[in-house]
Structure 1
Amino acid sequence: MPKIVMYATRACPYCRMADMLFQKKGVVVERIQIDDAPDLRIEMTRLSGRTTVPQIFINGRHVGGYTDLASLDRAGTLDALLRSDQAAGG
């Protein structure tokens, strides 16, 4: 089972779309809510280099936001990432 971490906010429609895509794929997501936690937002920015949500990591690899995730799905590479149990550093 892949380890998926998503930095998100409660009001973000792209976060909800990412949740739905992951649900469709049958995988569990560790959701880190940054709404009321400036330290977590700083952590997200440091790890991803981005300030927008969602920011998604699969097995330690930053894959980007929802549009990046949807592009991986359309290209057929998301399923391979979700099948991999090995951490992909970076």
Structure 2
Amino acid sequence: MYSKTYCPYSKKLKKLLNIYAINDLKVIELDRQKEMKGMQSILKRMTGRSTVPQLFIDGEFVGGHDETRAIEDRGELRKMLERARAL
């Protein structure tokens, strides 16, 4: 997950993900990285988005908070995490 420490949507997504005991959850706080602008440029090329949060599961882009919340509401997030062996 790519995040910024002060972003309210990043905080919401972290809270949502904390429901699960995810193995080895990696959160990269872009605002704490020396190469923040470069990393954001790469993310934009990969996902078409320059905003955070950006969640990847098993190397696949899932979305931000709103998309992940919708996936959770449909009951699919646990399945995705299980397929990725993240639980």
Query: Residues 22 and 29 of structure 1 are in contact (CA less than 8 Å); yes or no, is this contact kept in structure 2?
Result: no
Q: 4+ runs of 1 displaced by more than 2 Å?
A: none
Mark the runs of 5 or more structure 2 residues left unpaired by the alignment. Answer: none
- Higher normalized strand content (fraction of residues): 1
Please tell me the root mean square deviation across aligned C-alpha atoms, in Å. Answer: 1.4
Bigger shift: residues 23-32 or 72-81: 23-32
1:30 partner SS: coil
Under a length normalisation based on structure 1, what TM-score does the superposition of the two structures give?
A: 0.82
1:63 partner SS: strand
- The number of aligned residues is 81
For residues 21 and 50 of structure 1, what CA distance do their matches in structure 2 show? 21
Select which of 12, 36, 39 maps to 1:17: 12
Instruction: Give % identity.
Output: 30
Bigger shift: residues 65-74 or 11-20: 11-20
Q: Which deviations, in whole Å up to 9, do the C-alpha atoms of 1:1-52 show, x marking residues without a partner?
A: xxxxx11111101111111111111114211222251111112111211111
